[in-house]
Amino acid sequence: MSRPTKVFLGTGAAALLYALWSAWRGSWVSDDAFISFRYAENLVRGLGLVYNPGERVEGYSNFLWTLWTALGIGWGADVERWALGSSIACYLGALALLVWNSWTVRRDSPGLAPWIPVAALLGALHPDWQIFATGGLETSLFALEITAIYVVLTRSDVGPGRAATTGLLLAGASMTRPDGLMLAPTVVLYLLLTGTRRPRTLLALAAAFLVIWAPYTAWRVSYYGDFFPNTYYAKSAAMAWTSQGATYIGLYFARYWPLLLGPALVAFAWRRNDADLHPDERIARARWRRSALLAAMLATVYVGFVLRVGGDFMFARFLIPVTPLLLVLLELGLTHVAVPRARQQWFLAGVVAAGIAMTPYPFPRDPFGSVRGIVREQNFYPRHAMNRVRREGLALRPFFSGLPVRVAFLGGEARVVYYARPQVAIECVTGLTDRQIARQPLKARGRIGHEKLASIEYLLGVRRAHFAFPRYAPGALHLDREVPHVEIEMSGVQARVLTWDPVLLDSLRRRGASIQDFPTELDGLLAAPSPEHQMLDWFTYDKLRRFYFGNVHEPEREALFLQRLRESEQGK
């Protein structure tokens, strides 16, 4: 084994080991992941692929990842560990494909290519790819699929077998994320541009794709009743928001500016005159150009999609799937740029590595600071706090078990909802899992992905939610303005009562819950000799109707309340 080969393989192995250590050390699970986890758990429990029993709403956008999670739950795995381990495996798989990709082209590339798998090494150093190697979402799987599509298409001439493999990968990507569908026409266009016009090849690609994607789509439409997932409406994806998308992309490249060198170096090297090359060198040059073209096409299409939809509230997440392609372009540019001596490639590679690893984030110093609603999401999930939330959810589970409990929650509370297992849970700030909330008209743009707030009238009048958790709901839903402040405590976990349901509350009380005695407090106010107290700030008919009288049949108490309310108005 030659010295360059030993160095190459050793560097590749070191990159994978470092990536594994870094990803596991910083592992975390976002609350958003627990939306998919609840779908997966309900599937395993025989309730169907639903968030709430009997409600067919496609509130996830990662079908294959949700099925994979259901497999782990069915096998008895801890859902968080299963998601973390699977995500890291996908991350390492994508890096391994980049190593193999570099190995297959190293003999065609001058300079540092025979010594170092550049793309994989830089990927292992990429802080946000390390971060989203976990997180509990489908990001790592989607990045692996895009990397595999690229590698399969560029390693040799594309015949029917390789085209069919690509079609299957494209179907998998489209079932992992709906936006993966846009990659299919991009691949077809690439094949046409590079001379692959044989009908058998294109038919093999289309047939392999459709044999998986078409039945899946037919099932989705028949099961959920919509072609687009509910998340499409919840996040107003039909409405372009390019200014927000430009901010999102700009922040990413402010942090990872070396990735912009890849297209520039490729463009510079592309102009090189091939007339004086040996025929074998011209063949290698043609392979290099095809590889660069595919990476550029896939990356451009996907970055354009991110620009149009406005990006995401999680910094970098939407651009992680195309980061391998950007790294490939950087590798292709570095190893083919026309420089007098190879040492200049090594120097430039060192600058790029330092830039990727050490450039500061374009955010305020506050770790929870944001730019136009975009945050470094992982900072909000310290491990000790998430373990506490898990314990709280598990503490609530025996209280909720077997009872028709309905909980209103905000996205950041999806973790406690997953572990508590209320029969019905309504996500109130985006409507991810609720068709009516998601389809509300958007009055004004706000924080990306958090713009569809449920109304109290809907939550209480239609959904009849019983409880909300006190961390976010009081401020976001203006609870103190809408309903009386009444609390329930279950094994040390507090919640706000939104709807007074005597039968349910009595059942919870028998299980050990401590509940504020609202009827007694109400009777005390009704028995007051004069209206001088002005009936308190919550003592209005709208509040009491939503909270109490709309759910209990007490005509005498309600008549006395209305009498006292009139007296209060006359005494003002």
What's the rounded mean pLDDT across residues 86-112?
A: 91
Tens-place pLDDT, residues 501-522 = 999 999 999 999 999 999 988 8
Three-state DSSP at 294 gives helix
Tens-place pLDDT, residues 229-248 = 998 888 877 788 999 999 99
Let me know: does 531 contact 524? Beta carbons within 8 Å.
Answer: no
What's the rounded mean pLDDT across residues 95-123?
A: 89
Residue carrying the six token digits 């028949």: 222
Strand partners for 408: 426, 468
**23 has pLDDT over 70:** yes
Tens-place pLDDT, residues 381-428 = 999 999 999 999 999 999 999 999 999 998 789 999 999 999 999 999
Q: What percent of the chain has pLDDT over 70?
A: 94
**365 has pLDDT over 60:** yes
The CB density around residue 544, as the number of other CB atoms within 10 Å, is 22
Of the ranges 136-145, 264-273, 463-472, 525-534, which one carries the lowest mean pLDDT score? Answer: 525-534
**118 has pLDDT over 80:** yes
Of the ranges 36-45, 290-299, 489-498, 555-564, which one carries the lowest mean pLDDT score? Answer: 555-564
Q: b/e per residue, 15-47, with b = 16+ CB within 10 A?
A: bbeebbebbeeebbbbbbbbbbbbbbbbbeeee
Helix (H) or strand (E) holding 407: strand 406-409
Question: In this predicted structure, what is the pLDDT of residue 157?
Answer: 80
Q: How far apart are CA 124 and CA 356, in angstroms?
A: 10
Question: In this predicted structure, what is the pLDDT of residue 410?
Answer: 87
Let me know: does 513 contact 534? Beta carbons within 8 Å.
Answer: no
Strand partners for 426: 408
Of 119, 52, 550, the C-alpha closest to 295 is 119
Q: What percent of the chain has pLDDT over 90?
A: 65
Q: Residue 307's pLDDT band (boundaries 50, 70, 90)?
A: very high
Of 61, 473, 431, 52, the C-alpha closest to 440 is 431
Q: Residue 277's pLDDT band (boundaries 50, 70, 90)?
A: low
Q: How far apart are CA 227 and CA 61, in angstroms?
A: 12
Helix (H) or strand (E) holding 323: helix 323-336
Residue carrying the six token digits 């016009």: 197
Of 310, 328, 28, the C-alpha closest to 154 is 328
Q: Residue 367's pLDDT band (boundaries 50, 70, 90)?
A: confident
**107 has pLDDT over 70:** yes
Let me know: does 94 contact 306? Beta carbons within 8 Å.
Answer: no
Q: Measured between alpha carbons, how far apart are the two ends of the chain, in Å?
A: 95
Question: In this predicted structure, what is the pLDDT of residue 119?
Answer: 96
**60 has pLDDT over 70:** yes
pLDDT: is 567 or 326 the higher one?
326
Q: How far apart are CA 243 and CA 179, in angstroms?
A: 20
**262 has pLDDT over 70:** yes
CB neighbours of 327 closer than 8 A, spacing ≥ 6?
98, 118, 119, 120, 122, 123, 126, 259, 262
Question: In this predicted structure, what is the pLDDT of residue 325?
Answer: 98
**500 has pLDDT over 70:** yes
Question: In this predicted structure, what is the pLDDT of residue 539?
Answer: 62
Three-state DSSP at 135 gives strand
Q: How far apart are CA 298 and CA 87, in angstroms?
A: 22
Region of residue 467 (phi > 0: left; psi between -120 and 50: alpha; otherwise: beta): beta
Q: b/e per residue, 470-489, with b = 16+ CB within 10 A?
A: eebbbebbebeebbbebebe
Of the ranges 188-202, 268-282, 325-339, 455-469, which one carries the lowest mean pLDDT score? Answer: 268-282
CA distances (Å), 516 to each of 320, 456, 489, 538, in order? 48, 21, 9, 16
pLDDT: is 147 or 110 the higher one?
147
